[in-house]
Amino acid sequence: MKVIKIDKGEWTKGLDALRESFRLFGPVKEKDFYNFKELAAGEAPEMKIQNTRISSKSLVFPQSEAMMEYSLDKDDEDQGICKEVAKDYSPRAVLGMRPCDAKATVLVHMNFDNGDYQDPYWLNLYNATTFVGLGCDAPCSTCFCTTAGCGPYHEEGLDLLLSDQGDHYLAKVLTDKGQALADKAGWAADADGRTLDQDKTAAEGKITATIETDRLQALDTLALHGADFWEDVSFSCINCGTCTFVCPTCWCFDIQDEVYGKKGVRMRNWDSCMFPIFTVHTTGHNPRGTKLQRLRQRFMHKLKYFVDKYDKGIMCVGCGRCVQQCPVNIDIRKVSQTMNSLDAENFCAVQGK
Amino acid sequence: MENPYLPYPVRIDDIIVESEDRSLKTFKFVFLNPEDEKNFAYRAGQFAELSIGGKGEIPIGIASSPVEKGFIKFTVNKAGVVTSHLHNMKVGDVMGVRGPLGNSYPWEQLEGKNILIVGGGFAFTTLRSSIIYMLDPANRKKFGNISVVYGARTPGMLLYKDELIAWEKRDDINMHITVDGTDDPGWKYNVGFVPPITEQKAPQGDANSYAIVCGPPVMIKFTQPVLEKLGYDHDHIILSLENRMKCGIGICGRCGIGKELVCKDGPVFTLNQVNGTPREY
């Protein structure tokens, strides 16, 4: 698809033009970090950052969201009947999303539209959104996207991919949605045949960290599950859930009813497989009652169950947020390496336990 | 886009206290909107989320049978927030039901086969649904011999007593009702745990036979070797699993046992399938 040139002056003007037809979202400074927020009038997204602290997943999957509402008033004829909550699904655009977060959206999409059921909350927000990405020319030391099925100029999940060229952006139009946004913004300058290829190659060259995954699919699920290294890996884990909250591909949620007076709402909130209550039965029995079992679930889900279920690689895009923010330095690259190098000859011994 | 999280409004039409300790009640629901009943077309072995505004939802196996029309039934053990609230609700109260959810027993595969049903405690609900379905005049000829081993702690804890007695009298189903113990001198059925009664009374398994097993984990654990001894293959032993659930539609992520989700890929699995999972249930 075609590449256009956007002068930085045009960029700011274009944003103002876009506000007429889109709600705009982008990275903004929040205390000492950057996170995705709705941009106030006149506010521009912060494009010169390495990455946001939390992924962009909340843009289509809010951390807390009302699903339904109901009356608990005995005099109300609709008492106890769940009703849809009014939602704003007017067009919105995300600016400055990194390719890792965009690829994560593609992976998570498979969960929220699983063939049998479509999750309307996630899909409506997703469909209403135009995703404008920014290629990463200065990766973090913890980035390992190029070996996680992604990359600093990866295009999957994006409608428009920008590359920062100093006084201007080059923008690769990837979809009709991206073209429509560029049109609305008035970005149409010809790039004179220039492409993003060189920037892509240069950026990929800067990613030096890797994740090993080549044997995961072939390895036996129960051998991996029963392997003795989980004791070591989970030893320092405090089950804080930070990894799942900052992760762009973690999608688990809880559903809770909240009541105010005679009105109630059914909410959904991000949840985490790190928490014991995630799986505890009413009887008190808990299939994943120990931290070893919970940590193992997280890595097995990302690096084995997902791989086997979808045949689309690992459920990780290499953004490195969990590596950066884990308070006890658990590193998914090291865990994957340990899983990936499980000794085939130990299978029987492990399973025999 | 249809919203799979939105429950159908239902009215409680009847409440039957099933057990002597009053911990088990059967709730009969009628849909407020008749067209919802059509959308709730289900098969025996599926479950639904019972939904109470202000309390939450609880996944419960459907105890009524697809051949019973005009209502749906669920037998509910009083245990947590939602079920305790439900136990205090009255006939005429309005609440929600969301479903049907999950797969079902593999009825196409079961046609033409001998069926052994082994149930324990209050896990007899979808088994009741299955028995009513198979005994329906339109369906009975589709199945070979039907045998049932069903046990509870005491006679007073058995579900659906009137139906059990009626089935006991029929000649197209072999009933083996048992209790762990009783001081009732008039008890004319078996006394003993489900696994040994299964060993004594259940027919031999072969390529033409399937066993459907639902019950507490300890019952399943000790029934498995009995069924193996009787000649039931692991892919002819059918289990229905339970896990904590929220969405019920394979999205929220908590009920996974390996790559399988109990809510959507199950709750019905063969023992063979279960053996291939980390068994985190």
Claim to verify: residue A58 and residue A112 sit in the same structural domain: yes
Claim to verify: residue B58 and residue B159 sit in the same structural domain: no
Claim to verify: residue A117 and residue A231 sit in the same structural domain: no
Measure the CA angle with vertex B176, ends B174 and B181; round to 5°. Answer: 170
State residue A349's pLDDT score. Answer: 43
Omega prior to B267 cis, within 30 of 0: yes
Q: Quick check: A267 pLDDT over 80?
A: yes
pLDDT band at A348 (very low <50, low <70, confident <90, very high): very low
State residue A351's pLDDT score. Answer: 45
Q: Residue A353 class from Cβ within 10 Å (0-12 exposed, 13-18 middle, 19+ buried)?
A: exposed
Where residue B59 sits, what CATH number does that domain have? 2.40.30.10
Q: Measured between CB atoms, which of A255, A259, A308 is closest to B57?
A: A255
Where residue B205 sits, what CATH number does that domain have? 3.40.50.80
State residue B203's pLDDT score. Answer: 95
pLDDT band at A353 (very low <50, low <70, confident <90, very high): very low
Claim to verify: residue A71 and residue A107 sit in the same structural domain: yes
Substitution target in B97, B252, B261 with the highest count of A β-carbons within 10 Å is B252
State residue B139's pLDDT score. Answer: 96
Give the minimum alpha-carbon distance from B161 to chain A in angstroms, rounded to a whole number: 26
> Averaged over A93-104, what is the pLDDT?
97
**Is residue A211 one of the residues assigned to a domain?**
no
Claim to verify: residue B96 and residue B158 sit in the same structural domain: no
**Is residue A252 one of the residues assigned to a domain?**
yes
Claim to verify: residue B136 and residue B54 sit in the same structural domain: no
**Is residue B250 one of the residues assigned to a domain?**
no
**Is residue B212 one of the residues assigned to a domain?**
yes
Claim to verify: residue A201 and residue A244 sit in the same structural domain: no
Summarised one tens digit per residue, pLDDT across range A141-173 is 999 999 999 999 999 999 999 999 999 999 999
Q: Measured between CB atoms, which of B6, B56, B83 is closest to A256?
A: B56
State residue B217's pLDDT score. Answer: 83
Claim to verify: residue A197 and residue A254 sit in the same structural domain: no
Give the minimum alpha-carbon distance from B112 to chain A in angstroms, rounded to a whole number: 29
State residue B55's pLDDT score. Answer: 96
State residue B216's pLDDT score. Answer: 87
Nearest CA in chain B to A113: B251
Residue with tokens 């959904």: A268
**Is residue B192 one of the residues assigned to a domain?**
yes
Claim to verify: residue A38 and residue A97 sit in the same structural domain: yes
Claim to verify: residue A40 and residue A151 sit in the same structural domain: yes
Interface contacts (A, B; CB < 8 Å): 132
Claim to verify: residue A168 and residue A234 sit in the same structural domain: no
Claim to verify: residue B48 and residue B163 sit in the same structural domain: no
Claim to verify: residue B64 and residue B119 sit in the same structural domain: no
For residue A26, the Cα-to-chain-centroid distance in whole angstroms is: 15
Claim to verify: residue B117 and residue B176 sit in the same structural domain: yes
State residue B103's pLDDT score. Answer: 96
B246:A300 CB<8 A: no
ipTM exceeding 0.90, yes/no:
yes
φ and ψ at residue B260, rounded to 5 degrees: -85, 140
Nearest CA in chain B to A225: B278
Q: Quick check: A324 pLDDT over 60?
A: yes
Give pLDDT < 70 ranges for chain B.
Answer: none
Ordered DSSP codes for A135-170: --SS--TT--GGGTT--TT--TT-SEEEEE-SSEEE
Claim to verify: residue B136 and residue B205 sit in the same structural domain: yes
Residue B203 domain boundaries: 107-240
**What does DSSP say about strands A23-30 and A92-97: parallel, antiparallel, or unpaired?**
parallel
Q: Quick check: A345 pLDDT over 80?
A: no
State residue A224's pLDDT score. Answer: 94
Claim to verify: residue B23 and residue B133 sit in the same structural domain: no
Alpha-carbon gap, residue B20 to A227, rounded angstroms: 47
Claim to verify: residue B112 and residue B229 sit in the same structural domain: yes
The amino acid sitting at B88 is N
Whether B9 and B96 have beta carbons less than 8 Å apart is answered as yes
> Averaged over A174-194, what is the pLDDT?
95
**Is residue A171 one of the residues assigned to a domain?**
yes
Out of A205, A237, A270, pick the residue that ends a domain.
Answer: A205
Q: Quick check: A346 pLDDT over 60?
A: no
**Is residue B169 one of the residues assigned to a domain?**
yes
Substitution target in A255, A263, A271, A310 with the highest count of B β-carbons within 10 Å is A255
Claim to verify: residue B137 and residue B201 sit in the same structural domain: yes
Residue A259 domain boundaries: 221-351
Alpha-carbon gap, residue B196 to B223, rounded angstroms: 8
Claim to verify: residue B222 and residue B137 sit in the same structural domain: yes
Please tell me the total count of domains within chain A: 2
Whether A46 and A37 have beta carbons less than 8 Å apart is answered as no
Claim to verify: residue A198 and residue A65 sit in the same structural domain: yes
pLDDT band at A344 (very low <50, low <70, confident <90, very high): low
Alpha-carbon gap, residue B154 to B156, rounded angstroms: 5
State residue A103's pLDDT score. Answer: 97
**Is residue A19 one of the residues assigned to a domain?**
yes
> Averaged over A174-182, what is the pLDDT?
97
Q: Which residues of A touch B276 (CB under 8 A)?
A: 221-222
Out of A149, A171, A205, pick the residue that ends a domain.
Answer: A205
Alpha-carbon gap, residue A23 to B81, rounded angstroms: 40
Summarised one tens digit per residue, pLDDT across range A31-61 is 999 999 999 998 999 999 889 999 999 999 9
Claim to verify: residue A236 and residue A344 sit in the same structural domain: yes
State residue B1's pLDDT score. Answer: 81
Claim to verify: residue A7 and residue A122 sit in the same structural domain: yes
Please tell me the total count of domains within chain B: 2
Mean residue pLDDT across chain A:
94
**Is residue A213 one of the residues assigned to a domain?**
no
CA-closest candidate to residue A46, choices A105, A87, A95, A1: A95
Residue with tokens 């006991």: B168
Q: Which residues of A touch B93 (CB under 8 A)?
A: 80
State residue B176's pLDDT score. Answer: 96
Give the minimum alpha-carbon distance from A189 to chain B in angstroms, rounded to a whole number: 38
**Is residue B2 one of the residues assigned to a domain?**
no
**Is residue B268 one of the residues assigned to a domain?**
no
**Is residue A192 one of the residues assigned to a domain?**
yes
Q: Quick check: A73 pLDDT over 80?
A: yes
Residue with tokens 């399937």: B210
Claim to verify: residue A188 and residue A313 sit in the same structural domain: no
Out of B100, B132, B160, pick the residue that ends a domain.
Answer: B100
**Is residue B198 one of the residues assigned to a domain?**
yes
**Is residue B279 one of the residues assigned to a domain?**
no
Alpha-carbon gap, residue B156 to B149, rounded angstroms: 17
For A261, the token pair is 């007076």
**Is residue A121 one of the residues assigned to a domain?**
yes
Claim to verify: residue B116 and residue B54 sit in the same structural domain: no
Q: Which residues of A touch B243 (CB under 8 A)?
A: 279, 281, 287
**Is residue A149 one of the residues assigned to a domain?**
yes
State residue A350's pLDDT score. Answer: 43
